[in-house]
Amino acid sequence: MGDFFNSVLRPIELLVAWIMYGFHEVFTTLGLDPASGLAWGLSIIGLVIVMRAAMIPLFVKQINASRKMQLIQPELQKIQKKYKGKTDPESRQAMTQETMALYKKEGTNPFSSCLPILVQSPFFFGLFRVLNGLDEIGAGKQEAIGPITREVAGQAEQATIFGAQLSDTFLGANNPATYIVTVVLIILMSLTTFLTQRQLMTKNMPASALDNPFAKQQKLIMYVMPIVFAVSGINFPIGVLLYWFTTNVWSMVQQFYVIRNRPAPGSAAEKAYHERLARRGKPIPGEAERKAAEAKAAEEAAAGQGQRVQPKGKKRAKKK
Amino acid sequence: MTLGQVAAQPLVWVVRAYQLLISPMTPATCRYFPSCSAYAVTALRRHGLFRGTWLTLRRLGRCHPWTAGGVDHVPPLPGHPDDGELIARHIPPTPSEPASQQSTSAQT
């Protein structure tokens, strides 16, 4: 198992090493001291930017999907209405199942899929291993990882930000600067994740989604999360925490952009967005379709078919 | 419990640890119901280490941005009902129609 992990992670370690080394070369050329923590810290931030920028196409795809979400809103609301007041886990499961079946039927999906997390996690481990290995490589006990030779590793290992070495961990250090920098980074990481989640919950969730047990569980998790960060953070090198924090900042900004420009239907953010559009005299997206649908429903009601059409298969539609 | 199910237990713990510790830090991502991690737990418990791992890997391979997602349950053991049908029994009846046993899984 260990060998398997090594052979899978090796190419990723190499890629991480090359990206970091490349950024380090650039910053050195720009005049930063090659042995400084600033040059190496910025290289880690550069690694985050490369990785997240590579995933922007996925992000754009998700944004475009939100337009289609707007169109299936009436059907979603029908499902939500059907389950109104039903909070037992079985009903919630049935509701999720119906909602997901609807997404599939309509060919749209608000979720980004599990692939991005799966792709990112080896890079996280790769960086962890590169940073963790710096002292061993510098001491010649472990072989070089691509461009991170014994000399480079020794230099990076000695690099400090605010007096803390990038390869230091809270548990492995006896240096007050490392303790302080770790704690500050853990607080910043918790804060960014917390704000990201809170922004999502308070601004970008329809009111109907907020009173279900899952949202309550999510809330609880939101408060437990800093503890998780603290426990794992004291085991990680400062460089990994820096990477993690930068990723969080990126996610936060990206989400801020989405919520501002493509808010979820029925959410507080959507209301604010429509108000902003109205103030500028721009058309509200989906409004024309909604009005047309309302007019059609009124027409049908007037024609004496008070029965609203439920989302269902043709077979069921026939029996009545 | 079969040997395969016992052998799968450590992996189930790993997935549970992910669900409890790592997943909360990321927004909801999975395009399927049940989510990939929930699928993994059921697959490992139901089908044991080898088939469970295989089913989980296949599901992870399916969960990419170009899929429509939707309902995708772990295959039942022979002679057992499908999870989708069991869950669909809890769909509340609509007032104007008879409460028939509607199966959402038929759409997947």
How far is Cα A140 from Cα B99, in angstroms, rounded to an integer?
73
How far is Cα A180 from Cα A14, in angstroms, rounded to an integer?
31
Which of A155, A163, A127 is CA-nearest to residue A242? A127
How far is Cα A104 from Cα B49, in angstroms, rounded to an integer?
30
Predicted local confidence at residue B46, as pLDDT: 95
Residue type at A265?
Answer: P
Among chain A residues, the shortest Cα distance to B57 is held by A118
Which residues are bridge partners to A148 per DSSP? A145
- Pairing of β B32-33 and β A164-165: unpaired
User: Could you tell me the end-to-end alpha-carbon distance of chain A, in angstroms, rounded to an integer?
Assistant: 59
Q: Is A77 helix (H, G, I), strand (E, B) or coil?
A: helix
Taking only residues 46 to 85 of chain B, the set having a beta carbon closer than 8 angstroms to any beta carbon of chain A reads 60, 63-65, 67-71, 84
Rg (CA), chain B: 16
Q: Which residue has the higher pLDDT, B105 or A279?
A: A279
- In this prediction, residue B107 has a pLDDT band, given cuts at 50, 70 and 90, of very low
Q: Do A114 and B36 touch (CB under 8 A)?
A: yes
**Does the beta carbon of B18 lie under 8 angstroms from any beta carbon of chain A?**
no
How far is Cα B97 from Cα B90, in angstroms, rounded to an integer?
16
Q: Where are the beta strands (DSSP E) in chain B?
A: 32-33, 70-71
pLDDT higher than 80, residue B48: yes
Residues in chain A with CB shorter than 8 Å from the CB of B21 are: 228, 232
Predicted local confidence at residue B73, as pLDDT: 95
Q: Do B71 and A104 touch (CB under 8 A)?
A: yes
- In this prediction, residue B8 has a pLDDT band, given cuts at 50, 70 and 90, of very high
8 A C-beta contact, residue B65 and residue A115: yes
- In this prediction, residue B41 has a pLDDT band, given cuts at 50, 70 and 90, of very high
Nearest Cβ partner for B92 among A83, A107, A108:
A83
pLDDT higher than 80, residue B38: yes
Q: Do A104 and B96 touch (CB under 8 A)?
A: no
- Pairing of β B70-71 and β B32-33: parallel
For residue A148, the 8-state DSSP code is B
Q: What is the pLDDT along chain A (320 residues), one digit of tens a residue?
A: 567 777 888 888 899 899 999 999 999 999 888 888 889 999 999 988 998 888 888 777 777 776 677 778 788 888 888 888 777 888 888 988 998 999 899 888 878 888 888 888 888 888 888 888 888 888 888 888 888 888 888 888 888 888 888 888 888 877 888 899 999 998 898 888 888 877 777 777 666 555 555 566 667 767 777 788 888 888 888 888 898 899 889 988 988 888 888 777 777 888 888 888 888 888 877 677 667 777 877 787 777 655 555 665 655 555 54
For B50-76, what is each residue's pLDDT tens digit?
999 999 999 999 999 888 889 999 999
Predicted local confidence at residue A175, as pLDDT: 84
**Does the beta carbon of A59 lie under 8 angstroms from any beta carbon of chain B?**
no
Nearest Cβ partner for B70 among A104, A221, A307:
A104
The tokens for A314 are 């043709």
User: Taking the model in full, what pTM does it have?
Assistant: 0.74
Which residues are bridge partners to A161 per DSSP? A164
Among chain B residues, the shortest Cα distance to A198 is held by B27
How far is Cα A108 from Cα B69, in angstroms, rounded to an integer?
8
Cα of B75 to nearest chain A Cα, Å: 16
How far is Cα A188 from Cα A234, in angstroms, rounded to an integer?
14
Q: Which of A68, A105, A112, A198 to mutate to test the interface with B (most CBs of B within 10 A)?
A: A112
How far is Cα A314 from Cα B33, in angstroms, rounded to an integer?
24
Average pLDDT, integer, range B3-10? 91
Which of B57, B9, B10 is CA-nearest to residue A114? B57
How far is Cα A115 from Cα A233, in angstroms, rounded to an integer?
25
Which of A128, A134, A127 is CA-nearest to residue A151? A134
pLDDT higher than 60, residue B102: no
Nearest Cβ partner for A91 among B26, B70, B90:
B90
Residues in chain A with CB shorter than 8 Å from the CB of B83 are: none
User: Residues of chain B with pLDDT > 90: what percent?
Assistant: 53
Interface confidence (ipTM) of the complex: 0.81
- In this prediction, residue B99 has a pLDDT band, given cuts at 50, 70 and 90, of very low
How far is Cα A89 from Cα A91, in angstroms, rounded to an integer?
6
**Does the beta carbon of A307 lie under 8 angstroms from any beta carbon of chain B?**
yes
* Polymer length in residues for chain B: 108
Predicted local confidence at residue A266, as pLDDT: 72
pLDDT higher than 70, residue B44: yes
pLDDT higher than 50, residue B108: no
Q: Do A118 and B60 touch (CB under 8 A)?
A: yes
Q: Do B69 and A100 touch (CB under 8 A)?
A: yes
CA dihedral A137, A142, A148, A151 (to 10 degrees): 40
- In this prediction, residue B100 has a pLDDT band, given cuts at 50, 70 and 90, of very low
**Does the beta carbon of A139 lie under 8 angstroms from any beta carbon of chain B?**
no
**Does the beta carbon of B103 lie under 8 angstroms from any beta carbon of chain A?**
no
How far is Cα A138 from Cα A210, in angstroms, rounded to an integer?
52
How far is Cα A294 from Cα A28, in angstroms, rounded to an integer?
63
Among chain B residues, the shortest Cα distance to A115 is held by B64
The tokens for A193 are 């994740």
Domain residue ranges in chain B: 28-73
8 A C-beta contact, residue A96 and residue A80: no
Taking only residues 190 to 209 of chain A, the set having a beta carbon closer than 8 angstroms to any beta carbon of chain B reads 193, 196-197, 200
Residues in chain A with CB shorter than 8 Å from the CB of B36 are: 114
